[in-house]
């Protein structure tokens, strides 16, 4: 399993001067969405 903290620390220098659509906050939003999509849904 990938350690997210280590991954973010590794990629941070590459994203420091990027625009808002490609900066580190965008990467964090994509990770958050991917985690949410990976969770089982509850039946209503």
* Residue 20 near residue 26 (C-beta atoms within 8 A): yes
Q: Give the span between the Cα atoms of 37 and 17, in whole angstroms.
A: 29
**Prediction pTM value:** 0.58
> For 1-44, how does the pLDDT look when each residue is reduced to its tens digit (9 = 90+)?
778 889 888 888 888 888 877 788 888 888 899 889 988 877 76
pLDDT at 33 (0 to 100) = 93
pLDDT at 6 (0 to 100) = 92
């Amino acid at each position: 399993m990938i350690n997210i903290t280590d991954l973010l620390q590794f990629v941070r220098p590459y994203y420091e001067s990027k625009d808002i659509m490609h900066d580190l906050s965008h990467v964090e939003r994509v990770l958050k969405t991917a985690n949410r999509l990976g969770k089982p849904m509850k039946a209503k």
